[in-house]
Amino acid sequence: MNNKQKEELIKLGPDRILFNCSMKKHTTFHVGGPAEAVYAAHNLDELRRLTAYLIKEGIPYLAAGRGSNLLVRDGGLEGVVILLRGELADFRKGNNQTIAAGAGGTIAGLLDFCRKSGLGGLEFLAGIPGTVGGAVMMNAGAFGKETGSRIRKIGVITPRDGFITKAGSELVFSYRKLKLENGSVIINACFNMEQESKDFVAERIKKYLKKKKKSQPLEYPSAGSVFMNPPNDYAGRLIEKTGLKGKRIGGAMISNKHANFIVNTGSARAEDIIALMRIVRDSVKKETGIDLQTEIQIAGF
């Protein structure tokens, strides 16, 4: 970005933009270099103006939630990281047992809203530390259930069409993926829910949280599962077979509790994590013939 472009971005939202902003505090791995800028948009108009400007100027941008599936390289990120706040992070009850959720709202907040409204169906997301936008984009799932199966419609800004609404039936979800035009920013999602008692929803959230805490190393920063499960198998099981649990490079370590988690023991750099990922992929390939595919999103240089 040149100085003129920076000035224009400041004009768009003087109290919304920060320059040279460390991505350590915007990712759950707590690693990574600085983003050239981070812009926290608070409503749709602001976001429309911002994305239109970035697209017109050819400035790269990345919509981010809590960065809980994101590894930013140590050199940082070119362009603007877009965060959704304010009314872009709200939850509302809709007609016919639906919830309209701003993409910037956290999953924890969404589940709290579900509990208070006695609306069930998304409890399986308990313990996933992301946002609604990240959960939709990644088709986040657990215990055999996926976010995509609950979507009635989403609101999204795409570079080609601007702000549009897409019905769930038009969306192509697959394992940890939603197919959208590159550069799309999800604004909100409307979920199909079921009327339940508040206690029932609360109990189910508790049950799923308990299971999560038992199997995941939540005491260390991480980005959850690093690799996708191959068909009919588990990446964690394959990694465990290679004997790599506990292996360290710098401050990064393959978790002893869950072999598909790489954790930051305190001073990890992105390059330590990437080096461990390479070792895991090579070892699993050698031992089992299976090519593991990366689930976490790697950005930056």
Decide if residue 130 touches ligand FAD (CB under 6 A).
Answer: yes
C-beta separation of 68 from 223 below 8 A: yes
Decide if residue 65 touches ligand FAD (CB under 6 A).
Answer: yes
Position among 222, 242, 255, 264 found at the interface with ligand FAD (CB under 6 A): 222
Q: How far is the CB of 208 from ligand FAD (least distance, A)?
A: 9
C-beta separation of 24 from 70 below 8 A: no
Q: Is 176 a catalytic residue?
A: yes
Question: 199: how many CB neighbours lie within 10 A of its CB?
Answer: 10
Site stretch for ligand FAD (CB under 6 A), options 47-55, 63-71, 229-237, 276-284: 63-71
Strands (E) located in 13-120: 17-22, 34-41, 61-63, 70-72, 77-84, 91-93, 98-102, 119-120
Decide if residue 54 touches ligand FAD (CB under 6 A).
Answer: no
Q: How far is the CB of 195 from ligand FAD (least distance, A)?
A: 25
Q: How far is the CB of 199 from ligand FAD (least distance, A)?
A: 24
Position among 59, 223, 249, 292 found at the interface with ligand FAD (CB under 6 A): 223
Q: How far is the CB of 95 from ligand FAD (least distance, A)?
A: 24
Position among 42, 66, 204, 247 found at the interface with ligand FAD (CB under 6 A): 66
195 exposure class (CB count in 10 Å sphere: 0-12, 13-18, 19+): exposed
Decide if residue 38 touches ligand FAD (CB under 6 A).
Answer: no
The active-site residue out of 184, 225, 255, 283 is 225
Decide if residue 188 touches ligand FAD (CB under 6 A).
Answer: no
Long-range CB contacts for residues 235-240, cutoff 8 Å, separation at least 24: 235/259, 235/260, 235/284, 235/292, 236/260, 238/284, 238/287, 238/288, 238/290, 238/292, 239/280, 239/283, 239/284, 239/292
Decide if residue 120 touches ligand FAD (CB under 6 A).
Answer: no
Contacts of 263 (CB under 8 A, 6+ apart): 217, 220, 221, 222, 252, 253, 255
Decide if residue 273 touches ligand FAD (CB under 6 A).
Answer: no
Question: How far is Cα 301 from Cα 299, in angstroms, rounded to an integer?
Answer: 7
Place of tokens 């929803």: 201
Q: How far is the CB of 38 from ligand FAD (least distance, A)?
A: 12
Q: Between residues 1 and 228, which has the closer beta carbon with respect to ligand FAD?
A: 228
Instruction: Give, as ranges, the residues between 159 and 178 that touch ligand FAD (CB under 6 A).
Output: none
Decide if residue 133 touches ligand FAD (CB under 6 A).
Answer: yes
Query: Within the chain, where are the H helices?
Result: 3-12, 44-57, 107-117, 132-137, 198-215, 235-241, 270-288
- Summarize as ranges the residues that interact with ligand FAD (CB under 6 A): 28, 62-70, 84, 103, 128-131, 133-135, 137-138, 140-142, 184-186, 216, 218, 222-224, 297
Q: Tell me the catalytic residues.
A: 176, 225, 295
